[in-house]
Amino acid sequence: MRPAYLLANFGGPRHQKDVENFLVSLLTDSCVTGNFLPPSLHKKLFSFIARRRSPKVTLQYLHIGGKSPIYQDTECLAKQLEDRLLCPVIPFHRYLPDTHETTLQSLSRLEENRQIIGVPMFPHFTYAVTGSIVKFFHTHAKKHNISWIAQFGNHPSYISVMVKHIQQFLLTHEISNKDCCLLFSAHGLPLRYIRNGDPYDMQCEKSFKSLINNLGDMESYLCYQSKFGPGKWLQPSTKHICKTLHTKKRNIIIIPFGFISDHIETLYEIEEEYLPILDKRGYRALRLPAIYSSPLWIDYLIRIITGSPITSYHNLIKT
């Protein structure tokens, strides 16, 4: 019997009315915002912060069409994988709580002896995201004994498809390697996670080095975006690089690094906040669409899914 796969993603608002509940679900997750407060106070505080942020974030979503593409991308990808792998592929949207029961019911309908492999759509592991997903299922579906692909950021197929995606983009836009600078913009993470043993930064750096080694002699930088709240985060920030970078290359491409689907942090943050900084400084600045847009992605994702080591939840959550 073939395994079933649990395709786990972040989730994103499907329409304007989803935004507040999405933000509340996200910011009240102690894996994301920390557990330095008693649970009841943490939920109350971050629910308040989420509701305060909701009008501003709603306007940003309206700017990109009123919704996030992540939900539909994940649903479509699960169906494509199911058709290709000839086995159940169940989508999961971490911060859309009204979809969780559907996922749990789909799991409960599987045969008791069928292996279930969780596939988080995040190339680089962090306890804040993949760890939160694993913890959710350990809490709500422990009896299923799900195994997990913890990360795939240095998997040969991920490196290969990213290189091909970048090369095709440069070809389409008639940009030569010699006149191009690449900014690999990964999601940021508070330094307190790194100090507590989170491997995210090391995995990002290893993946980045593999990519630039395969791309050849191109000026490239790794940076981090989407800082939220106080405290120190991974550096350098993408905004800082955009403001201070000096290069003789005319074209600067911002690459969503570790983002599988486009969403508010690529369609709004990169497109509307970072590219204009570079444009005003005289560069030709472009955003690489997320890897989901590549027609090669599904084939390479299948290689990743079927050729990656799996591990148990014990190694992926902090108790």
Instruction: Evaluate the CA torsion angle 185, 187, 190, 195 in order and state its sign.
Output: negative
Element containing residue 53 per DSSP (H, E): helix 39-63
Please indicate if the annotation marks 265 as binding a ligand.
yes
Q: Do you find a cis peptide bond into 236, omega within 30 degrees of 0?
A: yes
252: Cβ contacts below 8 Å, ≥ 6 apart: 180, 181, 182, 183, 245, 278, 283, 284, 285, 286
The closest of 319, 318, 309, 315 to 119, measured between CA atoms, is: 309
124: Cβ contacts below 8 Å, ≥ 6 apart: 151, 153, 186, 200, 203, 204, 207, 258
Structure tokens at 216: 């050849």
Q: Left (φ > 0), alpha (ψ -120 to 50) or beta: where does 118 sit?
A: beta
Binding-site residue numbers for Fe(2+) are 187, 265
Binding-site residue numbers are 187, 265
